Chains A and B, each alone.
Chain A
Amino acid sequence: MPSVMLRKREDGKLLFYVAKKDLEETIESLEFDSPDRWGGEVVLGDGSRYFFEILDSPPKIPTTLQAKRLSEE
């Protein structure tokens, strides 16, 4: 469960940053991204997949969240 820092890049894309892993990647897709539901599975620029707890509202970015790493099939 790495803690992930999320921030917006200048072009509006979300960046997914894990300090311990030295990983900074763009978020390519997010499962739920609507005002009443946010989170779920995310796919990063390098193809790896993570999971955020589903929240009732989008978090205020930048923020730090816990993510679960999904195994690659």
Chain B
Amino acid sequence: MLEIYPEKAQKDRAKHLAVNDQSLEKANKCITSNRKSLPGVMTIRGCAYAGSKGVVWGPIKDMIHISHGPVGCGQYSRAGRRNYYVGTTGVNTFGTMNFTSDFTEKDIVFGGDKKLAKIIDEIEVLFPLNKGISIQSECPIGLIGDDIEAVSKVKTKEHGKTIVPVRCEGFRGVSQSLGHHIANDAIRDWVLDKSDSKEPSYQIGPYDVAVIGDYNIGGDAWASRTLLEEMGLRVVAQWSGDGTIAEIENTPKVKLNLIHCYRSMNYIARHMEEKYSIPWIEYNFFGPTKIAESLRRIAAHFDDTIKEGAERVIARYSAEYEAVIAKYRPRLEGKRVMLYVGGLRPRHVIGAYEDLGMEVVGTGYEFAHNDDYDRTIKEMGNATLLYDDVTGYEFEEFVKRIKPDLIGSGIKEKYIFQKMGVPFRQMHSWDYSGPYHGYDGFAIFARDMDMTLNNPCWKNIKAPWKSEASGDSVKAVA
């Protein structure tokens, strides 16, 4: 398959593709990851700005996130991720709005700091209920060397609000992964460190937890939160779906950090573990098997009331999810799935598919690091495919050879496969559906998979480039 590449590219790409072998303890023996994509291949990755503004900062609803630089980056990433939130947009929440400094030639030549200062002042006048501002740098800011930190400091003093400069210029790093890291560090340096001296604004309880790395896509964080609260825990903060700056400032007081998206938020969890001695664990709320496992693991960190709570929750929903499995499993049994998503789903959703009797035959990450693959190897069956930073061409070839029944990937891949007549679900933003987390989400997940897979339309689709060259078919269409 790699034959079409030049020799050097062939060698490089071969390292990113592997066949899973569960006996391996360490992924770096079989697969390379987090390396620069080769020029010329169609990578599906994003940039550091996407990782910071789109993923980590964007969902914090009561802050205004300025896309500092030319207008496009902010506009084309606006509201595309479906991070749901409660609030009145434009008054006290700003999640789906796009704020940009709209750089022009003049700003590149003379610097954009003055403009930035002016924007911050304007925001204060127009949206006085904002609780803070973050400045998300686009590429030119780093290239022309603007001092956004200085502007932030001056304006923080002037307005008395948290203003965070984030150095997430798109050219940094190999993928959005570095953007997550930069965003985490910015939260550490500009939010957590500064709020250390503040008194907590609430009564600290023994069962306080923070949900970290759940971006509330289609309401995911809410579906997760209800389960945690039902078992007796108090969710103090949501990072960052439907989250607020106050929640983030409160997080260092919690007893346990629960990490859902490990890749994008582990840095801050590690920091809090070191500085505030808050333990953290990863959990997985996709599919009943994994949910039960996770609930018990979380409960193990607390006393018996929570442990009982976990069992109670599992028992309470068991009739519900068993009904879901009973309904959909016969329709989905034995179907084969290929995944290619971002940072956590390539391994997290495997359990949910298996609960439905489906088999994941290939999985891969856009921007994972080695430790993600360490974790993936155990989840995947033997002799299944692993592909890191798969290129458009490779993914297509894999699908042609393996012929999966369903593909779960992102919007950039969606239409290629739909035109090929392969059922496809978008696993970044749940194809305008969701939530998929939690027991409630599992029911929706199962319904969506069934709806897609067993949709009669797939039989009728023929790739346009495969249409018969005879005149008859053209006439039939006309």
Which residues of A pack against B, CB within 8 Å? Answer: 5, 7, 17, 19, 22-24, 45-46, 62-64
Contacts and interface: CB of A to CB of B under 8 A. Distances in A.
B273 interface: yes
Contacts of A5: 270, 274
B270 A7 contact: yes
Given A5-B270, A62-B270, A22 B34 contact: yes
A22 B274 contact: no
Nearest to B25: A45
Interface string B2-33: 00000000000000000000000110100000
B267 interface: yes
Contacts of A64: 274
Contacts of A17: 270
B181 interface: yes
A63 B274 CA distance: 5
A25 B371 CA distance: 9
A51 to B, nearest CB: 21
Interface in B363-382: 369-371, 374
Overall SS of chain A's interface: strand
Contacts of A62: 270, 273-274, 277
Interface residues of B, number: 14
A60 to B, nearest CB: 9
27 contacts: A5-B270, A5-B274, A7-B270, A7-B273, A7-B274, A17-B270, A19-B181, A19-B267, A19-B270, A22-B34, A22-B369, A22-B370, A22-B371, A23-B370, A24-B370, A24-B371, A24-B374, A45-B25, A45-B26, A46-B26, A46-B28, A62-B270, A62-B273, A62-B274, A62-B277, A63-B274, A64-B274
Contacts of B273: 7, 62
- Top-8 shortest CB links A-B: A62-B274, A22-B369, A24-B371, A62-B273, A22-B34, A5-B270, A22-B370, A63-B274
Nearest to B272: A62
Given A46-B28, A63-B274, 9 more contacts: A7-B273, A17-B270, A22-B370, A23-B370, A45-B25, A45-B26, A62-B273, A62-B274, A64-B274
A45 B270 CA distance: 20
Interface string B328-372: 000000000000000000000000000000000000000001110
Contacts of B28: 46
Nearest to A64: B274
Nearest to B280: A7
A72 to B, nearest CB: 16
A17 B273 CA distance: 13
